[in-house]
């Protein structure tokens, strides 16, 4: 009991918990990572610094010709865009009481459809780019909606159906890429035309060459819009009500079935946009036979962001910075790239503990009041 009281005094009330617990999780994971790095004989501060430098947050000591800090940060933002959308997809599903673990599959499906429908066409940018976004959102919504229908009509657990769909989508699309769209040199799908690409290439910012990830603004806008949607609109309220208490929703006359379908469709649409941002933005091709890890990392990002769309932006930024900074860190310190994944893993582990901590505290709180 004493320990709990102490924790309470550190962490504070409901409002403060939202900030303190994720920060605590990050802090703990950094400490443990530092210990890990020390045990390998590396300086943890150099490691963290080189991660930040690799992601373009800090300056590197020297750059290749035509490259600068801005080059790296723009690349990080390009990677951040799909991560935010994918995390928003997780958040929306979670708020509706659903666990969308099929985001990677939905991303691949939308990325593939947008690639073959728009990516290989000769349409000018101002037609192609909106079309890519629309195709992406619709394709993702179709897969998400299917999972939602299976759940609400036939009570098929969404986790099972989305994992199965992940595999089906991955292998079917792999088949089509390898038989029809393969690039004979890279063994990936052929690169899309630059006019359809969502991240503008080869921009000169001052003396430096960089990409221009304009849709990061759309991602941030989407997070704000979803925050508003969940908190301030009737549909968002219905969705959260169903997510928190299906029985109460029925008592109030809110249809759990409709809202489950809606939440999954919405989540799928966001995952679809994440898909085109990844496969037709950050990348310009699709590697066959694999799923992007973004869809899975997004689950953890959403949790770290407290299932709050705004918090998601920061959590996604943190995780993206770490994964983007890895290559540089491993070359500076001469350690394996995987160490960065260990750090990411630790952050996620501790943020999961944060949820446990919060529950523990709310339960003791109830008893004392």
- Residues in contact with other proteins by the rule CB under 8 A: 14, 232-235, 237-238, 241, 244-245, 247-248, 250-253, 362, 365-366, 369
Spatial separation of the C-alpha atoms in residues 266 and 288, rounded to whole Å: 26
Neighbour-count burial for 260-273, b at 16+ CB within 10 Å, e otherwise: bbbbbbbbbbbbbb
User: CA dihedral in degrees (223, 225, 229, 230; nearest 10)?
Assistant: 20
Q: Give the DSSP letter of residue 188.
A: S
Nearest approach, Cβ of residue 236 and other proteins (Å): 9
Return the structure tokens found at 304.
Answer: 């770290």
CB of 98 or CB of 340, closer to other proteins: 98
Q: CB-based burial of residue 184 (10 Å sphere; 0-12 exposed, 13-18 middle, 19+ buried)? A: exposed
CB of 236 or CB of 295, closer to other proteins: 236
CB of 200 or CB of 229, closer to other proteins: 229
Nearest approach, Cβ of residue 241 and other proteins (Å): 6
CB of 14 or CB of 338, closer to other proteins: 14
CB of 241 or CB of 265, closer to other proteins: 241
CB of 237 or CB of 296, closer to other proteins: 237
Nearest approach, Cβ of residue 141 and other proteins (Å): 19
Neighbour-count burial for 220-259, b at 16+ CB within 10 Å, e otherwise: bebbeebbebbeeeeebebbbbbbeebeebeeeebebeeb
Q: What angle do CA 67, 45, 211 make, to 5 degrees?
A: 20
Nearest approach, Cβ of residue 9 and other proteins (Å): 18
Nearest approach, Cβ of residue 213 and other proteins (Å): 31
Nearest approach, Cβ of residue 249 and other proteins (Å): 9
- Which residues neighbour 56 within 8 Å (Cβ) at sequence distance 6 or greater? 69, 70, 71, 72, 73, 74, 75, 76, 324
- Which residues neighbour 169 within 8 Å (Cβ) at sequence distance 6 or greater? 105, 106, 108, 109, 143
CB of 261 or CB of 339, closer to other proteins: 261
Nearest to 145 by CA among 119, 101, 194, 106: 106
Nearest approach, Cβ of residue 54 and other proteins (Å): 40
């Amino acid at each position: 009991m004493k320990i709990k009281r102490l924790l309470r005094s550190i962490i504070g009330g409901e409002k403060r918990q939202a900030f303190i617990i994720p920060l605590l999780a990050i802090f703990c994971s950094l400490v443990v990572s530092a210990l890990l790095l020390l045990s390998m004989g590396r300086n943890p501060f150099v490691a963290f610094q080189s991660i930040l430098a690799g992601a373009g947050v800090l300056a590197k000591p020297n750059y290749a010709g035509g490259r600068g800090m801005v080059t790296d940060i723009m690349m990080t933002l390009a990677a951040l865009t799909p991560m935010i959308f994918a995390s928003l997809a997780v958040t929306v599903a979670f708020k509706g009481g659903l666990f969308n673990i099929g985001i990677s599959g939905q991303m691949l499906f939308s990325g593939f459809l947008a690639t073959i429908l728009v990516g290989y066409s000769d349409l000018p940018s101002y037609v192609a780019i909106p079309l890519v976004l629309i195709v992406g959102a619709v394709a993702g919504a179709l897969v998400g909606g299917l999972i939602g229908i299976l759940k609400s009509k036939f009570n098929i657990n969404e986790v099972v159906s989305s994992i199965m769909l992940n595999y089906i989508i991955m292998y079917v699309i792999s088949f089509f890429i390898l038989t029809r769209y393969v690039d004979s040199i890279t063994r990936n799908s052929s690169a899309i035309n630059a006019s359809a690409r969502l991240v503008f290439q080869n921009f000169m910012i001052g003396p430096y060459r960089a990409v221009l990830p304009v849709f990061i603004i759309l991602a941030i806008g989407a997070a704000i819009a979803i925050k508003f949607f969940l908190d301030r609109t009737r549909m968002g309220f219905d969705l959260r009500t169903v997510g928190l208490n299906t029985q109460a929703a029925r008592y109030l006359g809110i249809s759990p079935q409709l809202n489950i379908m809606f939440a999954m469709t919405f989540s799928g649409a966001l995952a679809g946009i994440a898909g085109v941002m990844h496969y037709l933005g950050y990348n310009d091709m699709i590697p066959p036979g694999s799923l992007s890890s973004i869809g899975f990392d997004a689950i953890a990002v959403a949790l770290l962001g407290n299932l709050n769309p705004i918090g998601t932006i920061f959590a996604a930024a943190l995780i993206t910075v770490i994964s983007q900074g890895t290559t540089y860190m491993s070359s500076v310190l001469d350690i394996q790239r995987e160490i960065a994944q260990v750090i990411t893993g630790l952050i996620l582990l501790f943020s999961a503990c944060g949820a446990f901590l919060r529950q523990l505290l709310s339960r003791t709180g109830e008893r004392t009041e």
